[in-house]
């Protein structure tokens, strides 16, 4: 099969003089439709040019545009690799540099194993679109009643504030909860060695009360880490060390509420935990749809919210990477007076190419940037950082001081040591390799055992989102899975507007064997009683 066949290309459709545009658009469509899943390879430029009867420059130029968009990346002799499956058709912005995307027709993944994309507008909200990919859709095999005894509260609708504690405490053989790196890889020896070094070097005053902003050593190390890994040029004085992103949000909420802010726009879908956090702080969370190019900035504008909490590098849970055009739209929104809270929760985990730079890198005074070591090392460390626009800094330091007088010193210093010695960078490289294998294994398992499921998102992060045919009750599915010893989170937990059912599946903390077994159980539940 020729590459152009595979891509279903017909050069006769190309407008005169616009061949590169046309080709880029068609490839984008093919990616969106799942014909070219994330991780697959584009034809070599010479091969495709020959097949289409165009000059090689036309293909090179098309590939260059796709690279700029973040949809593909050149990997030297490995060729050009598809990175992210856009969520079907982006809505057209007035300044959209390229033609509209593919027609919004129901799509079917080309092969069972291929990650596909959700339908337009939030990926999970549409009622039409993606149906069972293979054969006829099956009747949902999961009852729509609430969960089995013991998990009824856990899977109550809407979920209560203790839902994550309850899920964590529930016994299960296989934990596919999202948000965890491979915990078995925690570098115990390096940590202990660093702690020994730190303890030997401390002066007595280091055991006293400290700077509520954090130890100078860690603030320096974080500033360097962010420069290298996230493209952020920050002075250590801008860095506020916090007890994880949860605390960063709490402190910001306090300061913003004092300023009169009552609403923080949230991507929809987005993390239930974060939504609960905002509500706990007395803030409303107007939902903003997410499509294949990321958050819909036009819809954000329409909410009237002054503040938006976003996950641009790897949208949670859809896995979409905010594209260039949307970044520009967002920058315009911010410059019109908007504040972006950038939750950069797993940005370092990109498996196909270096991660896109943080929004903070270019919008310093419009972005409050939150990161943590929860996905780099372990959530149990409760260490993160917040870089806010200058006008908020004093109030945030006050808020941190009154919250807890500052993070504990020893873990900060150990972490600084791990960052400065290169141990954390080595750990990240190790995790990236391991997580990528686990991601591939889970995608294969889903193709094998859950053919109804459509996998979404870029080759990044610690979790996958899958959507299911309409009619499934994802909460009931998660409850039934827990009964069978498998922990998963229903997608509906993470949506504000009614949408497509689905699951958010963490793969990073489970062995491929466990993930396969867990996915097989999910598939079994989906296909119903034999």
- Point out which residues bind a copy of itself (CB under 8 A): 161-162, 164-165, 168-169, 175, 179-180, 182-184, 186, 188, 191-192, 195-196, 199-200, 202, 204-212, 242-244, 246-247, 250, 276-277, 280-281, 377-383, 397-398, 401-411, 509
Nearer to a copy of itself, 162 or 528 (CB): 162
**d(Cα 496, Cα 128) in Å, to the nearest integer?**
18
Structure tokens at 4: 């152009």
User: CB burial class (10 A; 0-12, 13-18, 19+) of residue 12?
Assistant: exposed
| 269, 309 Cβ separation under 8 angstroms | no
Pairing of strands 174-175, 486-487: parallel
Structure tokens at 102: 């593919």
**d(Cα 7, Cα 145) in Å, to the nearest integer?**
43
Please tell me the number of Cα atoms within 13 Å of 49 on its side-chain side: 14
**d(Cα 433, Cα 100) in Å, to the nearest integer?**
36
Q: Identify the CA nearest to 463 among candidates 446, 484, 485.
A: 446
| 263, 284 Cβ separation under 8 angstroms | yes
Would you give the distance in Å from CA 316 to the centre of its chain?
Answer: 4
Nearer to a copy of itself, 147 or 210 (CB): 210
Nearer to a copy of itself, 134 or 405 (CB): 405
Nearer to a copy of itself, 333 or 392 (CB): 392
Task: Kindly state the smallest distance separating residue 277's Cβ from a copy of itself, in Å.
Answer: 6
Nearer to a copy of itself, 69 or 346 (CB): 346
Task: Kindly state the smallest distance separating residue 506's Cβ from a copy of itself, in Å.
Answer: 10
Nearer to a copy of itself, 112 or 379 (CB): 379
| 521, 482 Cβ separation under 8 angstroms | no
**End-to-end CA gap in the chain:** 38
Task: Kindly state the smallest distance separating residue 314's Cβ from a copy of itself, in Å.
Answer: 19
Task: Kindly state the smallest distance separating residue 402's Cβ from a copy of itself, in Å.
Answer: 5
Q: 370 has which bridge partners?
A: 343, 386
| 355, 381 Cβ separation under 8 angstroms | no
Nearer to a copy of itself, 75 or 401 (CB): 401
Helix (H, G, I), strand (E, B) or coil at 221: helix
Q: Identify the CA nearest to 181 among candidates 494, 385, 435.
A: 435
| 410, 207 Cβ separation under 8 angstroms | no
Task: Kindly state the smallest distance separating residue 210's Cβ from a copy of itself, in Å.
Answer: 6
Nearer to a copy of itself, 125 or 311 (CB): 311
Task: Kindly state the smallest distance separating residue 252's Cβ from a copy of itself, in Å.
Answer: 13
Task: Kindly state the smallest distance separating residue 368's Cβ from a copy of itself, in Å.
Answer: 17
Task: Kindly state the smallest distance separating residue 397's Cβ from a copy of itself, in Å.
Answer: 8
Which are the contacts of 305, defined by CB distance < 8 A and separation ≥ 6? 263, 264, 265, 286
Backbone angles phi, psi at 146, to 5 degrees: -70, 175
Nearer to a copy of itself, 43 or 244 (CB): 244
Structure tokens at 18: 């616009």
Nearer to a copy of itself, 89 or 487 (CB): 487
Task: Kindly state the smallest distance separating residue 291's Cβ from a copy of itself, in Å.
Answer: 30
Nearer to a copy of itself, 409 or 459 (CB): 409
Structure tokens at 413: 């210093």
Task: Kindly state the smallest distance separating residue 441's Cβ from a copy of itself, in Å.
Answer: 18
Nearer to a copy of itself, 366 or 487 (CB): 487
- Kindly write down the DSSP assignment for every residue of 73-135, as one continuous string: EE-GGG-EEE-----SPPPPPTT-SS---S-------SSTTS---PBTTTBTS-SSS---SSS
Task: Kindly state the smallest distance separating residue 431's Cβ from a copy of itself, in Å.
Answer: 13
| 410, 195 Cβ separation under 8 angstroms | yes
Structure tokens at 396: 């945030």
Task: Kindly state the smallest distance separating residue 408's Cβ from a copy of itself, in Å.
Answer: 4
Task: Kindly state the smallest distance separating residue 166's Cβ from a copy of itself, in Å.
Answer: 11
Nearer to a copy of itself, 202 or 233 (CB): 202
Helices (H), 342-453: 393-404, 409-420, 423-449
**Cα–Cα distances in angstroms (integers) from residue 147 to residues 156, 160, 172, 473, 481, in the given order:** 8, 15, 15, 11, 10
């Amino acid at each position: 099969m020729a590459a152009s066949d595979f891509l279903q290309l017909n050069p006769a459709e190309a407008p005169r003089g616009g061949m590169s545009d046309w080709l880029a658009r068609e490839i984008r469509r093919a990616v969106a439709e799942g014909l070219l899943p994330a991780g697959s390879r584009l034809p070599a430029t010479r091969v495709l040019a020959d097949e289409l009867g165009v000059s090689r420059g036309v293909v090179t130029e098309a590939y260059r545009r796709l690279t700029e968009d973040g949809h593909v990346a050149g990997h030297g002799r490995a060729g050009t690799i598809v990175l992210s499956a856009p969520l079907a058709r982006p809505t057209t912005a007035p300044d959209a540099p390229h033609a509209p995307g593919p027609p919004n027709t129901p799509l079917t993944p080309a092969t069972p194993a291929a990650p596909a994309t959700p339908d337009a507008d939030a990926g999970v909200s549409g009622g039409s679109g993606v149906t069972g990919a293979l054969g006829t859709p099956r009747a949902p095999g999961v009852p729509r009643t609430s969960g089995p005894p013991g998990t009824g509260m856990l899977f109550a609708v809407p979920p209560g504030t203790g839902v994550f504690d309850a899920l964590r405490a529930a016994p299960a053989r296989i934990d596919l909860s999202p948000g965890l790196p491979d915990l078995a890889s925690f570098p115990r020896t390096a940590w202990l060695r660093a702690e020994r070094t730190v303890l030997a070097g401390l002066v007595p005053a280091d055991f006293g009360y400290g700077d509520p902003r954090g130890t100078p050593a860690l603030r320096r190390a974080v500033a360097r880490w962010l420069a290298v890994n996230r493209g952020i040029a920050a002075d250590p004085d801008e860095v506020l060390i916090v007890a994880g992103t949860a605390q960063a949000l709490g402190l910001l909420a306090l300061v913003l509420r004092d300023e009169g802010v009552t609403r923080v726009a949230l991507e929809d879908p987005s993390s239930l935990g974060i939504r609960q956090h905002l509500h706990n702080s007395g803030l409303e969370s107007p939902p903003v749809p997410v499509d294949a190019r990321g958050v819909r900035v036009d819809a954000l504008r329409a909410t009237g919210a002054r503040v938006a909490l976003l996950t641009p590098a790897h949208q949670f849970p859809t896995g979409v990477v905010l594209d260039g055009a949307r970044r520009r739209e967002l920058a315009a929104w911010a410059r019109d007076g908007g504040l972006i809270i950038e939750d950069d929760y797993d940005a370092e985990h990109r498996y196909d190419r270096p991660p896109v730079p943080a929004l903070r890198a270019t919008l310093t005074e419009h972005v409050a940037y939150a990161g943590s070591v929860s996905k780099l090392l372990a959530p149990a460390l409760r260490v993160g950082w917040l870089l806010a626009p200058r006008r908020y800094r004093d109030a945030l330091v006050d808020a941190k001081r009154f919250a807890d007088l500052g993070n504990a010193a020893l873990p900060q210093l150990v972490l600084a040591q791990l960052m400065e010695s290169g141990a954390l960078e080595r750990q990240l490289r190790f995790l990236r390799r391991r997580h990528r294998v686990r991601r591939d294994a889970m995608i294969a398992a889903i193709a094998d055992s859950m053919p109804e499921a459509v996998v979404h998102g870029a080759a990044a992060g610690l979790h996958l989102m899958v959507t299911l045919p309409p009619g499934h009750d994802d909460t009931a599915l998660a409850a039934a899975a827990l009964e069978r010893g498998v922990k998963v989170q229903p997608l509906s937990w993470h949506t504000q507007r009614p949408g497509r059912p689905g699951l958010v599946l963490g793969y990073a903390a489970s062995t491929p064997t466990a993930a396969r077994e867990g996915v097989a159980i999910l598939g079994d539940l989906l296909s119903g009683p034999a």
